[in-house]
Amino acid sequence: MQQEKQGKRQPKKHRWLRFAPQIILGLGLLAAYFSWRDSHRKLTQQELDTALIRYMQGKYAIYGDTLTPVGEGKVVCAPNDLFFPTTNKYELGFESEKYPKRSEKETVVLQYNYEENTLRDTYMSFVLREQAEEKFREIFDRIYGPETYELVMKVEAAPWRNFTPSAVDTINQHLESIPFSDISICVVRNSEMIDRDMRELLRMLKIERYGVDGIIYYMDEEEYQNRNLKGDWVDEDPYSYDKYIRFAWEKNKGDYSIYTLKEGK
């Protein structure tokens, strides 16, 4: 009986394979567009965006989400480059109904590199954000105590160059694959503890192998209670707080690549 139940459950792990035709169709249309871009027949921008939308809908259909395009797609331009302004990337943004953004700047981004013929997106950083936050809380609970801080994770602003996420990635696979997680923390803590805290954090990051690019605000009780709630404090000017520390740790590094204490006032 148990074997029969397992046999029934197993196909659900691969339900996304039913949407392989849509994914292949999207890739085929994209290849056609950039292969024929110098010929007499090009796909229109609307046709290209439709192919990208179908690709995303097919790839992530297992989540039962509604992905709404944000405007039209565009060729990504390199900043401060007047002579070679394009990057060989075409980008289309989406808003997720199931995993809504936490700030106005957050958007699910799909990038197609038409020289490398690769498609990469940031959708899984939205799907796995809460699980990633829990992973980091397991670390910071041991440093600060669970009731003394707030932790917020920012999603990726653009896809990682050498990482193509799968629709069925686990949180462990995700954190092991991406170079950095962008976290912000505010904590009720005496700033004299910073050096000790950062040494302990480095030790734990090396054990877990989580790359981090983050900022920690050290506050007194009054400042902590007066901060903007629900994560809004993340987007404020850091100098509105008395003390904070910027830090980054790359996997396999012996020490922080950034570790700077700032006085806000």
What are the domain boundaries of the chain? 2-121, 127-263
Residue 72 has what pLDDT? 93
Q: What is the pLDDT of residue 170?
A: 97
Q: Which are the contacts of 201, defined by CB distance < 8 A and separation ≥ 6?
A: 139, 140, 143, 247
List all residues 6 or more positions away from 180 whose beta carbon is below 8 Å from its beta carbon.
211, 212, 213, 248, 250
Which among 92, 94, 174, 104 has a CA at the least distance from the CA of 135? 174
Q: What stretches of 11-147 adopt beta strand conformation (E)?
A: 67-77, 86-96, 108-113, 118-121
pLDDT at 9: 42
Residue closest to 213 by CA, chosen among 129, 135, 156 = 156
Averages of pLDDT over each 10 residues, the chain, 265 residues: 42 50 57 50 81 95 96 82 69 96 92 89 97 97 94 94 93 95 95 95 96 94 78 67 90 94 73
Strand ranges (E), the chain: 67-77, 86-96, 108-113, 118-121, 149-154, 181-188, 212-219, 243-249, 258-263
Q: What's the CA gap between 226 and 16, in Å, rounded? A: 46
pLDDT at 24: 56
For domain 127-263, say whether CATH 3.10.310 is its number: yes
- pTM metric for this prediction: 0.81
